[in-house]
Amino acid sequence: QVQLVESGGGLVQAGGSLRLSCAASGSIFSINIMGWYRQAPGKQRELVAGITSSGSTNYADSVKGRFTLSRDSAKNTVFLQMNSLKPEDTAVYYCNADVFRYYSDTGSFRYWGQGTQVTVSS
């Protein structure tokens, strides 16, 4: 079993900053991809940012230039630095990780955090 522990959500004024953290633990051999999705009420869940095992990053167009995804591979942890926040960034943010597990021959498996609320006031 793999667990994802998220932190850093909260309430912030427009133009402010937050940093989200996600730490993966458990039966992890390696992590293929790790990152963040978000879902606002009445909307589809969308990719915010992801990072591969090689360090390659991918961002949603709506957050490019404002959000930065980084990682601490030794701790299986990713950080999402969110600057210049806008009200439209308000959503529940979900950490995700595509994980290769010890003692498994079934390939990688996608795990999700429980979500952390980010609210940006006008």
Residue 105: predicted pLDDT: 82
Residue 60 neighbours by CB under 8 Å, 6+ apart:
46, 47, 48, 49
Residue 66 neighbours by CB under 8 Å, 6+ apart:
82, 83, 84, 85
Residue 104: predicted pLDDT: 82
pLDDT, tens digit (0-9, with 9 covering 90-100), for 55-102 = 999 999 999 999 999 999 889 999 999 999 999 999 999 999 999 998
Q: Is the pLDDT of residue 106 over 90?
A: no
pLDDT, tens digit (0-9, with 9 covering 90-100), for 14-46 = 999 999 999 999 999 999 999 999 999 999 999
